């Protein structure tokens, strides 16, 4: 028996794709930054150290679509001779070792979150920003008019305008690569699989299992950020496993889509406009009667 879907040429849409960044295994090598710049032909944006540890780019911007943060902390960490960077032994047990107050680094590769409810899409007047068939958010630079509305609309401060250009730029999740069945450049280059790419539902399951493994190993501070579809942006298309509070990594603790109040604002404006028109009409009628 023939398949009706095949007869009509119907094809199932691809699943929503995204990033899961496991900061617990990030080694701060910046291979993701380099790969992103090379593949997307992004200009250089700072070769000098900023004084913020080994961070030379400070944050995401028009010419920094992947940013590796180095956070220095003085906090008790368990590390033994046969453990990984979290102090987790091959057997999965936390081993004693490092004393309280000794320095540790938290490293994390940040990127555009490709929000489910993306305020940048809501405010773009030209349609330059669009959602792809993979659920990601992309800027079409040839349509962008440089108005800059999307910049304050982003609750994460991701989008920026490039100097000397004026247009908005940000991560595309390598739309040109994933359309051909390839991994994004940053995920392909990551040597520790800190950056993982795939169907978002599968990544969320994998991330939840990873957090449970870390908790069982005694790393109680491990948590997910951006993986909850019920959060203020409807869940992020690029989410993270963190080892401390989001603010430590420069991330907002409770991001909310900045255009959430637009419908009610338009309703109030419509009511006010209707009231003004009614008052004007009444005034005109009253004046004629006199």
Contact 32, 112 (CB under 8 A): no
Tell me whether residue 112 is annotated as binding.
yes
Look up tokens 């107050």; give the residue: 101
Look up tokens 């990594």; give the residue: 249
Tell me whether residue 284 is annotated as binding.
no
Tell me whether residue 120 is annotated as binding.
yes
Which tokens belong to 232? Answer: 């203020």
Tell me whether residue 32 is annotated as binding.
yes
Tell me whether residue 144 is annotated as binding.
yes
Task: Measure the CA–CA gap between 97 and 72, rounded to whole angstroms.
Answer: 19
Task: Measure the CA–CA gap between 71 and 54, rounded to whole angstroms.
Answer: 9
Contact 169, 160 (CB under 8 A): yes
Tell me whether residue 115 is annotated as binding.
yes
Query: DSSP per residue over 45-79, as a string?
Result: ---S--SBTTBSS-S-BTTBSSEEEEEEEE-----
| Beta-strand relationship, 17-22 and 238-242 | parallel
Count of Cβ atoms closer than 10 Å to residue 4 Cβ: 8
Q: Provide the annotated binding site for [4Fe-4S] cluster.
A: 26, 29, 32, 36, 112, 115, 120, 124, 144, 147, 150, 154, 171, 174, 186, 190
Q: Provide the annotated binding site.
A: 26, 29, 32, 36, 112, 115, 120, 124, 144, 147, 150, 154, 171, 174, 186, 190
């Amino acid at each position: 028996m023939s398949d009706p879907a095949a007869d009509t040429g119907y094809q199932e849409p691809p699943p929503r794709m995204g990033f899961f960044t496991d900061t617990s295994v990030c080694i701060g090598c910046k291979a993701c930054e380099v790969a992103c710049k090379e593949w997307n032909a992004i200009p250089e944006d700072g070769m000098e150290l900023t004084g913020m540890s080994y961070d030379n780019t400070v944050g995401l911007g028009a010419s920094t679509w992947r940013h590796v943060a180095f956070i220095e902390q003085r906090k008790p960490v368990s590390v033994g001779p046969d453990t990984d960077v979290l102090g987790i032994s091959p057997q999965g047990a936390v081993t004693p070792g490092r004393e309280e107050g000794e320095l540790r680094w938290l490293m994390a590769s940040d990127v555009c979150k490709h929000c489910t409810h993306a305020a940048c899409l809501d405010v773009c007047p030209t349609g330059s920003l669009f959602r792809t068939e993979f659920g990601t958010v992309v800027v079409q630079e040839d349509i962008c008019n440089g108005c800059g509305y999307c910049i304050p609309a982003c609750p994460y401060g991701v989008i920026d305008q490039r100097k000397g250009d004026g247009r908005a730029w940000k991560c595309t999740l390598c739309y040109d690569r994933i359309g051909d069945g390839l991994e994004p450049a940053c995920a392909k280059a990551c040597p520790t699989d800190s950056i993982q790419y795939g169907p978002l539902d599968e990544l969320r399951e994998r991330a939840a299992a990873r957090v449970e493994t870390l908790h069982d190993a005694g790393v109680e501070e491990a948590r997910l950020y951006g993986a909850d579809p019920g959060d203020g942006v409807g869940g992020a298309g690029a989410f993270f496993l963190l080892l401390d509070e989001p603010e430590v990594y420069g991330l907002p603790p409770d991001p909310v889509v900045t255009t959430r109040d637009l419908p009610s604002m338009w309703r109030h404006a419509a009511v006010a406009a209707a009231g003004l028109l009614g008052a004007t009409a009444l005034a005109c009628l009253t004046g004629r009667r006199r």
